Every structure is written in structure tokens, then in C-alpha cells.
């Protein structure tokens, strides 16, 4: 049965590659390929699950192959199948099949018809990789695919301002979740001194003694896993992105943020449950946050004027309850709850346009006065306070901006001395100092050598903060992202066992992607009078080929799994020592910001309303 599992990833992959070759005007063939691909996958899922049930529901776990191995480090693909995977497989395959069929007619004559179905298949690849993953490394591969496909579908109406803006905002939250997973992998490597699978993690007796001796590290790993799960499932304090993700087409809202993608956080918590099952304090923490999320989401949903936002917050409340069920150890109840919530929210979102039309007619002809609710029994001052806080979504967005993003922007705005003309002088001076110290490290005292990697990681962080906040020069922002990668590689080079082959693996994707992206920028500058980052320019309308190539360069530069840099990121963290917490923090923050910086460059140049007035411009909304 191990060989059969390969088809669950191979089927959507073949469909995705074939859909790329189709003519975008042939709607029938484009939707037909997607519909047939996912339909075959669903039938195959039923067949496989039936055989698995007949043969006793034995857990399947096997190591597929090693992508990269060096010393104790082994980045390998591991496949795992059990009841949790079975539930997510059937629910995901069936709902994607239904949404694919619905979208064939719903999106008829949409400009991005092919783009939607291609992205849907791309998402389905990532979803299957996650649910079949047997370790954190394999999960991270699908995790990244889910993140970028979410960005593409939220920004589906890319000629409008608000979908593009919200897509970047959602991607920023997803990026925080990515870093949580990477840091969990980093600490896990030090905790077990190896990359372990979920099957090994479930063997509590084998690491109980080790966990009791390092209880603090165990709690930190659990918190990092929760951070990733909460970011993906819109739990506090990352709840504000879910209603903003509804800017995409209704089918993508249904499959992503109503049913499948939004429940991946719960999947992560269930898959890692054996690790934190005996950490009582952490389980209480998850329960408390789940309760707070449910209360927050229920109150906020009651004041929403948009039906999609109401459904989003209602789904968020249910997922909060699902997290509580998982923390209490009710795995079967949580699985049933996930399946029920997924089907209900998909149905609600797909029929929401018809419901709105029906309700408008009903209110016009049959006026029903406001009925009393439980809130009317509250003291008026308390009722109005709750109402205003719910209307403002409890100021979660404002807190995130004032406490995290705005300080970064203020710091970046003070780095105006880094212009395109002198940034390379800055780069060569500090890189020269770094190489001098690296090749003469025997002359440096051990006390000073401890701080040198952190110093160069901070220089790299400063570079990417400037790239993230730059409002004028595209070339400067792009160059600073590349420079950030070089300083990160230099910082880790001071640590033991990080040799030149590892640096080459990490920087090879950075250099190639950086050059390709720079050539695209130069080409666009030659075709257009002015390109900067002060607003959205929408150049994808007139330059679709440059848009596609530059987007691929952005993926490579942000360590998406199409270049060796993806493996290099995990390799970088594996060489950060357990006590180098500040170094890990600087590198993690750099990873967040360099991904956001390149996506921001892409969005500002190629997405949004077209800068040329002779093209139709979507009305800007706020």
C-alpha cells in the first residue's frame, strides 16, 4: 500500500502541470481538467480507504527519500497515514471536487479563469503533502505551497486595490506561522539531536526522560507549534486575517477559509498531540486561548454587515472549540467537528450570493422589526461597549500594527543613508570585515567570537528592514533582500560544521533568483517611464510575461521550494546552536521580512489598479 500513496500527490501534480499548457480561452477544457483530476483523486481516495479499513486500519509510516544529508543532518521526506489523515483526505478530496464543479459555471468568462483552476490544483498538491506528511520537514513543504496559493487566490481580482492589499496582509500572518514551524524544527533538532518523524514523536516512553530533563525546551517547541497552527487557523492573536481573506472569489473562500486551509492548524495540533499531551500547563493555555477566540469570534460575527465575514467569524469560533477538544484529548470528537464545520461553511459560502439576493427581496416586501436578543438584557453601557469593541474587531489589527509593524517601519525610515548608489559600498565593507574575521578566527578571543555571528545577522536584519520599508527605489529594495541572505550565510559560517558546500546550497537559489528578478526590473524600467514602490502600478495587465518570470524569482528569493534555498533555510537553522537564541531570533525575523519584502515588491509593481488612465480602473474601497 505504500506505493499507492504516491498517487495522492502525483494525480494533482500531473493535472496542475497539464493545466499550465492549456489555452486560457478554452474554459471547458481548463475546468474539465481540474474537475476530472480531482474527481479521479476522490474516487481513488475512496478505493484506498476501503482497502485500508478492510486490512485492519494499520498505521502506515515510511521514509520516502533523503533530499539532502550532511553528518547528523538529514532532510528527508516521510509519509504517514492514519485515521487523522483519512478524515482530512476524504473531506478535502470531496469538498475540492464539489467546489471545482461549482466553479466551472460560477466563474464563467472571468478574466482569471485559468489562473483560478491552476491555483486550485496547486493548492490541492500542498494540501495532500501536508496531510500525508510524516515529519515537520515534509509538512513544511506543503505548508509553503498553501501559503503562496492563498496569496494568489485572495489577490485573484488583482486589478482592484483591496484584494491585493488584503492578500499581502494575510501573507504577512502566514509568514509568521512559517517561522514558528521553522523554529520548532530548529529546537526539535537540538532536542532529539536528529530529524524525527511523527511516529517516533508518538512513542512517549522513548523520550519521556529526556523531556523531563528539558521541560522548558519542550514547552517552547509546543508554543512554536501552536503559533504556526494559530496563524493558519486564525486563532488569537492572529484572528484578523480571516475575514480579509474573503476578498477572493466565493469558491476559493469556501475551499480555503471555510473548510480546508483554515483547519490545517487543527491538523498540526492533532499530529503533534503526543509531544505536548503531558504538558498540562500548555494544554490549559490552548484551552484558554480557544475559549477567548470563540467568545471574540461570536461577538464580532454578530455585528458584521457582510455575510462572508459573518461566516468567517462563525467558522473561527468553531475552530476555537476544536482546539479545546484537541487539548482535552477528544481526538475523535475533533475530527467529527472538523468534518461537520468544513461541510457547513462550504455550503454557506457557496449559497451566500443567492441568500443575499433572497433576503433583500424578503426585507423589501416583508419588513420584520428588530427582535429582542440576549444582549438587550445587559446594562446599556456594557452592551454599547461590547458592540463598539466587536465593531472594531477588538482592535487586534491596531495592536499588531502599533506593537510590531509600525516600529519596524519607523526604524526602516531612519535608514535613508542606504541608497542604491552606496548600498554596495555598505555591503562590501561589512562583508570584507566578515571574511577577515572568518579566516582569522583563531586570532579572536572565544568571548568575542560568540557575539560575531549575532552581529552580522543583525546587519542582515537591518538590510531587510530597509528593503521592507523602502517606498521609492525598486532596485534598492530588491538588492537589500539579496544582501540580507548573504549576511545570514556569513553569520552562520562562524558556527562549527557549516562548510562551503552548505553556503553554496543556500546561496545558489538566492543568486539565480536575484539576477533573474533584477533583469525583470531593468526590463520593466526600459518599457515604462517610472516604476517605484509608492503605490500599486498594475503592470501585470500589459506585461504578463515579465510578471510571471518575476513572480518565480520572488518565490526563489523567499526560499519557496523551487530552489535549493528552501533546504538551505532549514540547514541554516540546524547549525544555530541551542544557546544562540538572539541569533535564531534575528535570522527568523529576517526570514519573515525578506518574504514580505519580495511579495510587497511584486504586489506594488504588478498588481492593483493600472497606473495608466486609459485602462479601466476598479473603484478603490477601504
Q: Is 193 left (phi over 0), alpha (psi -120 to 50) or beta?
A: left
CA nearest neighbour of 195 among 3, 66, 282: 66
CA gap 256, 123 in Å, rounded: 9
- Percentage helix, strand, coil for the chain under 3-state DSSP, each rounded to 5: 75, 5, 20
If you search the block for the grid coordinates 440576549, which residue do you land on?
374
CA gap 467, 490 in Å, rounded: 19
CA gap 400, 239 in Å, rounded: 11
Residues 584 and 525: beta-carbon distance below 8 Å: no
CA gap 477, 89 in Å, rounded: 41
Higher pLDDT, 65 or 242: 242
Residues 242 and 318: beta-carbon distance below 8 Å: no
CA gap 278, 291 in Å, rounded: 21
What pLDDT digit, counting tens, does each position of 195-235 carry?
778 887 776 666 666 666 667 788 888 999 999 999 999 89
Contacts (Cβ under 8 Å, ≥6 apart) of 559 = 509, 565, 566, 568, 569, 591, 595
If you search the block for the grid coordinates 494540501, which residue do you land on?
127
CA gap 177, 539 in Å, rounded: 30
Tell me the sheet residues that pair with 197: 135
Percent share of the chain, pLDDT over 90: 32
Q: What is the pTM of this model?
A: 0.91
* Alpha-carbon dihedral sign for residues 65, 68, 70, 73: negative
The H-or-E segment that residue 70 falls in is strand 60-70
Is residue 45 very low, low, confident or very high in pLDDT (cuts 50, 70, 90)? very high
Residue 251 CA to its chain's centroid (Å): 19
pLDDT at residue 204, as a whole number: 63
Residues 84 and 49: beta-carbon distance below 8 Å: no
Rounded average pLDDT over 230-244: 87
CA gap 42, 89 in Å, rounded: 9
What pLDDT digit, counting tens, does each position of 324-346 carry?
999 999 999 999 999 999 999 99
CA gap 159, 146 in Å, rounded: 23
CA nearest neighbour of 30 among 92, 108, 99: 108
What pLDDT digit, counting tens, does each position of 96-126 carry?
999 999 998 888 888 889 999 999 999 999 9
pLDDT at residue 619 greater than cutoff 60:
no
What pLDDT digit, counting tens, does each position of 518-567 carry?
999 999 988 887 788 888 888 888 898 999 999 999 999 988 888 888 88
Rounded average pLDDT over 121-140: 91
CA gap 521, 507 in Å, rounded: 21
Rounded average pLDDT over 266-291: 91
CA gap 177, 65 in Å, rounded: 26
Alpha helices in 257-376 (DSSP H): 264-271, 273-276, 280-301, 307-327, 331-365
Q: What is the largest CA-CA distance in the chain?
A: 87
Amino acid at each position: 500500500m505504500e506505493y499507492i500513496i504516491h498517487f495522492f500527490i502525483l494525480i494533482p501534480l500531473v493535472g496542475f502541470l497539464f493545466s499550465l499548457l492549456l489555452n486560457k480561452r478554452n474554459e471547458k477544457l481548463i475546468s474539465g481538467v481540474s474537475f476530472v483530476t480531482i474527481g479521479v483523486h476522490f474516487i481513488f481516495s475512496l478505493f484506498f480507504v476501503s482497502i485500508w479499513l478492510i486490512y485492519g486500519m494499520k498505521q502506515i509510516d515510511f521514509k520516502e527519500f533523503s533530499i539532502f544529508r550532511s553528518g547528523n543532518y538529514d532532510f528527508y521526506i516521510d509519509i504517514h497515514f492514519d485515521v487523522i489523515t483519512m478524515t482530512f483526505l476524504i473531506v478535502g478530496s470531496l469538498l475540492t471536487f464539489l467546489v471545482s464543479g461549482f466553479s466551472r459555471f460560477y466563474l464563467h468568462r472571468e478574466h482569471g479563469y485559468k489562473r483560478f483552476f491552476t491555483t486550485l490544483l496547486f493548492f490541492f498538491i500542498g494540501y495532500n503533502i501536508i496531510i500525508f506528511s510524516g515529519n515537520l520537514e515534509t509538512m513544511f513543504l506543503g505548508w509553503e505551497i498553501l501559503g503562496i496559493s492563498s496569496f494568489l487566490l485572495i489577490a485573484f481580482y488583482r486589478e482592484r486595490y483591496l484584494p491585493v492589499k488584503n492578500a499581502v496582509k494575510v501573507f504577512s500572518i502566514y509568514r509568521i506561522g512559517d517561522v514558528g514551524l521553522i523554529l520548532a524544527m530548529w529546537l526539535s533538532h537540538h532536542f532529539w539531536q536528529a530529524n524525527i518523524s511523527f511516529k517516533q514523536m508518538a512513542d512517549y516512553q522513548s523520550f519521556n526522560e529526556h523531556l523531563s530533563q528539558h521541560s522548558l525546551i519542550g514547552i517552547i517547541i509546543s508554543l512554536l507549534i501552536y503559533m504556526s497552527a494559530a496563524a493558519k487557523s486564525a486563532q488569537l492573536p492572529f484572528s484578523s486575517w480571516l475575514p480579509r481573506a474573503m476578498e477572493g472569489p466565493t469558491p476559493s473562500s469556501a475551499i480555503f477559509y471555510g473548510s480546508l486551509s483554515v483547519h490545517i492548524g487543527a491538523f498540526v495540533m492533532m499530529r503533534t498531540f503526543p509531544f505536548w499531551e503531558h504538558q498540562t500547563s500548555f494544554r490549559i493555555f490552548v484551552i484558554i486561548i480557544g475559549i477567548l477566540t470563540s467568545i471574540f469570534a461570536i461577538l464580532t460575527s454578530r455585528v458584521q454587515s457582510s455575510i462572508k465575514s459573518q461566516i468567517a467569524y462563525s467558522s473561527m469560533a468553531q475552530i476555537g472549540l476544536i482546539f479545546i477538544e484537541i487539548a482535552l484529548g477528544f481526538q475523535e470528537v475533533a475530527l467529527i467537528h472538523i468534518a461537520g464545520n468544513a461541510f457547513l461553511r462550504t455550503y454557506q459560502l457557496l449559497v451566500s450570493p443567492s441568500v443575499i439576493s433572497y433576503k433583500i427581496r424578503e426585507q423589501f416586501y416583508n419588513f420584520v422589526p428588530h427582535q429582542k436578543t440576549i444582549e438587550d438584557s445587559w446594562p446599556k453601557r456594557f452592551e454599547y461597549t461590547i458592540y463598539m469593541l466587536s465593531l472594531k474587531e477588538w482592535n487586534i489589527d491596531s495592536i499588531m500594527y502599533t506593537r510590531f509593524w509600525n516600529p519596524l517601519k519607523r526604524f526602516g525610515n531612519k535608514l535613508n543613508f542606504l541608497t542604491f548608489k552606496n548600498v554596495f559600498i555598505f555591503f562590501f565593507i561589512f562583508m570584507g570585515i566578515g571574511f577577515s574575521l572568518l579566516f582569522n578566527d583563531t586570532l579572536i578571543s572565544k568571548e568575542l567570537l560568540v557575539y560575531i555571528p549575532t552581529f552580522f545577522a543583525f546587519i542582515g536584519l537591518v538590510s531587510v528592514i530597509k528593503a521592507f520599508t523602502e517606498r521609492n527605489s525598486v532596485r534598492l529594495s530588491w538588492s537589500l533582500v539579496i544582501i540580507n541572505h548573504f549576511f545570514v550565510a556569513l553569520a552562520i559560517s562562524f558556527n562549527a560544521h557549516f562548510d562551503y558546500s552548505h553556503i553554496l546550497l543556500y546561496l545558489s537559489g538566492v543568486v539565480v533568483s536575484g539576477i533573474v528578478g533584477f533583469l525583470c526590473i531593468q526590463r520593466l524600467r526600459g518599457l515604462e517611464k517610472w516604476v517605484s514602490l509608492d503605490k500599486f502600478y498594475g503592470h501585470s495587465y500589459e506585461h504578463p510575461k515579465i510578471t510571471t518570470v518575476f513572480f518565480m524569482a520572488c518565490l526563489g528569493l523567499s526560499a519557496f521550494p523551487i530552489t535549493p534555498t528552501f533546504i538551505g533555510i532549514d540547514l541554516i537553522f540546524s547549525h544555530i546552536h541551542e544557546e544562540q537564541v538572539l541569533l535564531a531570533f534575528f535570522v527568523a525575523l529576517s526570514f519573515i521580512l525578506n518574504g514580505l519584502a519580495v511579495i510587497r515588491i511584486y504586489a506594488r509593481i504588478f498588481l492593483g489598479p493600472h497606473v495608466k488612465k486609459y485602462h479601466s480602473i476598479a473603484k478603490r474601497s477601504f
